[in-house]
Amino acid sequence: MLDTHARKFVQPPINHTAHWLLKKGFTADQITITALFIGLGTSILYVMGFPVLAVVFLWLSGFLDAVDGTMARHTKTSPFGTVMDITFDRIVEVSMIIAIAYVHPEVMWPLLLLSVSIVISMTIFLVVGSVSEKSGVKSFYYQAGLAERTEGFVLFSIMLLFPSLLYWSTLLFFAVELFTGVQRFMEARRILK
């Protein structure tokens, strides 16, 4: 929801960073890979006991994830770049879930439910994107929903920073993600009939 509706407010610094990186000779794919490693750093820092720094890395990774797409649109988008982008996003999310489970094994079941809801929601998102004739700014049809990347980052940040709320914040994330999956499924039913 925030990715779709608040993008106009954060796009200027994203554009500025993308143009600066392009002038320095970086490619979108290089920034995608950089965002992956910074995102994986989130999990490492969390396991090492640095949750605040982990959250900083998480948001830096997310910022670069937005920058790489802008860079690609200003140069030449590639189908493989899209594959890398979406795959690396999931790798970062899964690594964070594994790190949280390692540090807090008592919330294993809610984390498992969260993982299942992400798989369901992303499956619908990707299948609709691949079979839909619509397209947008991205290289595929982007289905907006209640939980987009920014909402996920907000909820992951709460999970990382407030361990006393971890059980309930994980269940909230699960519910939001599951609702998004249902929302996307209903939209798919409407647009693909």
Domains along the sequence of the chain with CATH: 2-191 (1.20.120.1760)
The 10s digit of each residue's pLDDT in 154-186 is 999 999 999 999 999 999 999 999 999 899 898
Return the SS3 of 66: helix
Q: Is the pLDDT of residue 7 over 90?
A: no
> Tokens in use for 61?
């990774």
User: Which of 73, 61, 56, 60 minimizes the C-alpha distance to 15?
Assistant: 73
Q: Which residue has the tokens 């994330």?
A: 173
- Across the chain, the runs of DSSP E, i.e. the strands, are none
Stretch 96-117: mean pLDDT: 96
94 neighbors 114 (Cβ within 8 angstroms): no
Q: Report pTM.
A: 0.86
152: its two tokens = 């996920």
pLDDT over 90 (residue 100): yes
Percent above pLDDT 70 for the chain: 90
